[in-house]
Amino acid sequence: MRVDQFDFELPSDRIALRPARPRDSARLMCVDGAAISDHGVMDLPARLRAGDVLVFNDTKVIPAQLEGRRGEARIGATLHKREGPRSWWSFVRNARRLHVGDRVEFGAGVAATAVARGEDGAFLLQFHGHEPVEQLLARAGRMPLPPYIASKRPADAADEDDYQTMFAREEGAVAAPTAALHFTPRLLAALDERGIGREMLTLHVGAGTFLPVKADTIAGHKMHAEWGRIDAATAARLNAVRANGGRLIAVGTTSLRLVESAAGEDGTIQPFDGDTAIFITPGYRFKAVDGLITNFHLPRSTLFMLVSALMGLDVMQVAYAHAIEEEYRFYSYGDASLLLPNWTDCPLSTDCGH
């Protein structure tokens, strides 16, 4: 498929620069099969069934953006994947001024040496000293807001809380699993009362999630790997949910991608601990996930391709046109959508995933 098939016009004023306050006051667009309806996030329990389980990502965003110098040259680095205890692959701004073997001073006593360069142009940075890298980043780093927000305003103190979910526990992400930003204790209590369960997994979201698709075709795009984990007990509980007739609803594309990475062809979810670079596009057959809660994504992005794989490209084009017309707020700090595919009513022409 061509990448331009996933393009659409989005007015710039639809991009949310701050989250809804309170978080659970955001809007919720439900796409059930091909039927579109408008709600609020607090209506979510009524849109789900008793016995369904929401699957959350408990990753925690680290202050992964650094500004430094190599001699007189200014160097910016955005960490995107841990390679070792003191090593991170990083996307580098002003990369033409950095070479393997160079030392970069990031201030606050934090320095790193570029020890390798990848085929994609990223550098492997080896941090100096003996302190945990997380402590170094706490001193010298800042919250890595998505480019479409950072280009319009700088990160500030509010983002330190706004850009973390209430489930954030396992440090290592450089982008938030933003669908879960809408959840609050009040919403969880309402879900509990409805009989809707929840499970946790970990996928450390990388900055590659923001990289534009530059290829003309889907086949020409390469995904960056991210590390994830589903322990054996969690995998067993997820399998039991489906065996008992419940649905697994992924909260965010990160949770969906990890569950699908861990699932066998028969739909059984296995324990998982390692990297995944799964690229879900129309024609993909979903094995374990029955629905998705997610925010609204960029045109031509891998995430819009993923939701089109789940629901059908035709359906999502109509849904996004509706969201734009109804002035939903887009992207990381924007509103939410609940996507529930109806596999039995899904014609093959829509590439809906089954």
Residues 333 and 320: their CA atoms lie apart, in Å, by 17
Residues 40 and 27: their CA atoms lie apart, in Å, by 4
Task: Encode pLDDT of 138-177 as tens digits.
Answer: 999 998 888 888 889 988 989 999 999 999 999 999 999 9
Could you tell me if 87 and 127 are in contact, meaning their C-beta atoms sit under 8 angstroms apart? yes
Residues 179 and 182: their CA atoms lie apart, in Å, by 6
Confidence at residue 353, expressed as pLDDT on a 0 to 100 scale:
57
Model pTM? 0.92
Domains recognised in the chain with CATH numbers: 3-61+162-350 (3.40.1780.10), 65-141 (2.40.10.240)
Work out the percent of the chain whose per-residue pLDDT is above 70: 96
Tell me the Ramachandran region of residue 351: left when phi exceeds 0, alpha when psi lies from -120 to 50, beta otherwise.
Answer: left
HSE toward the beta carbon, residue 144, CA cutoff 13 A: 30
In 128-168, beta strands by DSSP E: none
CB 195: neighbour CB atoms within 10 A? 13
- Cβ neighbours of residue 145 closer than 8 Å, sequence gap 6 or more: 155, 159, 163, 332
Confidence at residue 87, expressed as pLDDT on a 0 to 100 scale:
96
Confidence at residue 210, expressed as pLDDT on a 0 to 100 scale:
67
CB 161: neighbour CB atoms within 10 A? 9
CB 98: neighbour CB atoms within 10 A? 22
DSSP 224: P
Sign of CA dihedral 162, 168, 174, 177: negative
Residues 299 and 292: their CA atoms lie apart, in Å, by 19
- Cβ neighbours of residue 348 closer than 8 Å, sequence gap 6 or more: none
- Whether the predicted pLDDT of 46 surpasses 80: yes
Average pLDDT value for residue range 256-268? 97
Residues 235 and 272: their CA atoms lie apart, in Å, by 9
Could you tell me if 309 and 351 are in contact, meaning their C-beta atoms sit under 8 angstroms apart? yes
Mean pLDDT of the chain: 94
- Whether the predicted pLDDT of 348 surpasses 50: no
Task: Encode pLDDT of 210-228 as tens digits.
Answer: 677 889 999 999 888 899 9
Task: Encode pLDDT of 110-139 as tens digits.
Answer: 999 999 999 889 999 999 999 999 999 999
- Whether the predicted pLDDT of 315 surpasses 70: yes
* Dihedral angle computed from the Cα positions of residues 180, 185, 190 and 193, in that order, rounded to the nearest 10 degrees: 110
Per the model's pLDDT, the better-predicted residue between 144 and 259 turns out to be: 259
